[in-house]
């Protein structure tokens, strides 16, 4: 086994796994988002190793460039209340469930590793044009054309839905007729009161 390749693989997977642990364990969500960023960069490195250059670029663009930034925006929008305090309510059940999952997962992994053949599966040689933008794009626009267009529609619907959900219920009073504006003004304090009463 090539030493350099193995070292690169170890470095990338170490970055990814450490980032994952930080994401899950960090008390501050901003640190969690930074851990997610590190995981994404590590996985992009692994994609490069697996001859998926196009996907490595997409991973960095979409995840590191859009998703993590979106997380950071929301965390900063929420301010200090994005960091929730720990509480003991139901903690035992949660940790018991997580430990059961962890033990069963590790057990399954150990079983698989014990029963597998002695020699690990060597990857075949990469054919030319494998994983490049040209070949992926050719396949996207021929065999996977319908799902591609549908995913475009899905993204459009998701954007509209996100805006509609995040916008809240406030109505611009200048757009309303006079009577409606008055009623919305009177209803606004009651909404505030119910919120206060609830909290």
Q: Show contacts with other proteins in window 105-134 (CB under 8 A).
A: 105-106, 109, 113, 116, 120-124, 126-127, 130-131
Residue count at the site for other proteins (CB under 8 A)? 92
The burial class, CB within 10 Å (0-12 / 13-18 / 19+), for 56 is buried
Nearest to 20 by CA among 35, 9, 31: 35
CB of residue 189 to other proteins, shortest distance in Å:
16
Binds other proteins by CB under 8 A, chosen from 151, 183, 185, 187: 151
Positive or negative: CA dihedral 24, 21, 43, 115: negative
3-state SS assignment for residue 87: coil
Looking at the Cβ atoms of 166 and 179, the one nearer to other proteins is 166
Rule CB under 8 A: which of 43-72 touch other proteins?
43, 46-47, 49-52, 54-55, 58-59, 62-63, 66-67, 70-71
Judge contact between 126 and 51, C-beta under 8 A: yes
* 38 near other proteins, judged by CB under 8 A: no
């Amino acid at each position: 086994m090539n030493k350099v390749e193995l070292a690169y693989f170890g470095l990338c997977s170490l970055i990814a796994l450490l980032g994952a642990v930080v994401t899950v364990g960090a008390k501050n969500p901003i640190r969690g988002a930074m851990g997610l960023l590190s995981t994404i960069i590590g996985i992009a490195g692994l994609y490069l190793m697996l001859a998926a250059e196009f996907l490595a670029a997409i991973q960095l663009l979409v995840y590191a460039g859009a998703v993590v930034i979106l997380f950071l925006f929301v965390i900063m929008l929420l301010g200090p209340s994005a960091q929730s305090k720990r509480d003991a309510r139901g903690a035992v059940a949660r940790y018991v469930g997580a430990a059961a999952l962890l033990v069963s997962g590790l057990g399954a992994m150990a079983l698989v590793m014990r029963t597998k053949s002695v020699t690990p599966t060597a990857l075949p040689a990469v054919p030319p044009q494998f994983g490049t933008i040209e070949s992926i794009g050719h396949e996207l626009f021929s065999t996977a054309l319908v799902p591609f267009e549908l995913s475009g529609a899905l993204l459009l619907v998701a954007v509209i839905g996100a805006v509609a959900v995040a916008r809240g219920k406030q109505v611009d009073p200048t757009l309303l007729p006079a009577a409606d504006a008055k009623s919305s003004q009177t209803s606004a304090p009651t909404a505030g009161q119910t919120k206060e009463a609830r909290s």
